[in-house]
A = this chain, B = another copy of it.
Amino acid sequence: MSDFAIIGAGAMGSAVAKRLIDHGATVLTCLEGRSERTIARAAAAGMVPVGRQGLAKAALILSIVPPAEAIGVAELVAEISSGLQAPPPFIDLNAIAPKTMQALAARFGGSTVEVLDGAIIGGPPAAGKPGPTLYVSGDSAERSRLLQDYGLRVRRLDGPLGAASALKMCYAGINKGFIGLGAAMLLAASRSGAAESLKAELAESLPDVDRKFSKSIPDMYPKAYRWVAEMQEIADFLGEDDPAATIFRGMAGVFSRLADDVEGDHALVGQLDEILGSRDTGGAMVMP
């Protein structure tokens, strides 16, 4: 019996596979209809391609795909599991809202498949790094222990199915929300003639924040287009009754404008780079 099946051989999926394989696991994946780039990445990681039905031979099936594909993957797994005596448990590890997770679990209604809610916090595993933490909720039988046996860092949440998804939403809201807040205010300072002073004041009174922005804002540019949908998902997660949903609708707008700029004339990105790269504090003279 093979150890794992991973649906999704993107940057994260293939890196998780490699970590498991490096620890002695076999990792199946289905590459039907996938791009050459994905096929090459799966091969490089050492993943074993199988047909759709072959995925059900694993001890555990993982879904690591873009949020919009999560429900489709669950439907595929429900389909290949139906009629099996002892289908493998299924862990959704995608950045989806708890409600989406519950809708996803409902696709398995009437089947014996055990559905777990997971979330990955941190970047893809890489050589010499501990890698991300996999949070899992709804795992009373400790099915996720198998992942931990093969080199991944796993934490179980006591909360209900959806708690791991909620954790992911909240963490992303703080981490990515702060990057959006920083980018927006640096741009506002730039158009008001206060950018250099703001940078100098941050460096002095909030040095952690200054370091965070200097690294995370430029890292965000190529991801801004993806973060638009993530911010909208967080707004939906918070719900209409929570005034914080409005914050994330604004964040989606900020990242959307930045994504357009990255595709376009780089006017905003140029302003941000100028502030963040600025070592010249001539505009904010300290009177000695």
Query: Which positions in A face B, CB cutoff 8 Å?
Result: 98, 121-122, 133, 135, 137, 145, 148, 153-160, 162-164, 166-167, 169-171, 173-175, 177-178, 180-182, 184-189, 192-194, 196-198, 200-202, 204-206, 208-209, 212, 237-238, 242-254, 256-257, 282-287
Contacts and interface: CB of A to CB of B under 8 A. Distances in A.
B188 A166 contact: yes
* Integer count of this chain's copies in the complex: 2
Given A155-B287, A181-B247, A247-B180, A189 B160 contact: no
A171 B156 contact: no
A253 B184 CA distance: 19
Contact of A197 (B98, B153, B155, B186): B155
A282 B155 CA distance: 11
A121 B200 CA distance: 12
A284 B155 contact: yes
Given A250-B248, A283-B158, A166 B192 contact: yes
A113 to B, nearest CB: 23
Given A155-B197, A155-B286, A244-B254, A202 B182 contact: no
Nearest to A158: B283
Listed residue (A208, A247, A286) with the most chain B CB atoms within 10 angstroms of its CB = A247
Given A250-B243, A250-B246, A188 B209 contact: no
A161 to B, nearest CB: 10
Contacts of A186: 170
Contacts of A250: 243-250
A158 B193 contact: yes
B194 A237 contact: no
A67 to B, nearest CB: 17
Contact of A167 (B180, B201, B243): B201
Listed residue (A159, A177, A192, A201) with the most chain B CB atoms within 10 angstroms of its CB = A192
A86 B192 CA distance: 31
Given A155-B284, A247-B254, A251-B247, A198 B181 contact: no
A70 to B, nearest CB: 18
Contact of A156 (B137, B202, B287): B287
A206 to B, nearest CB: 7
A198 B259 CA distance: 29
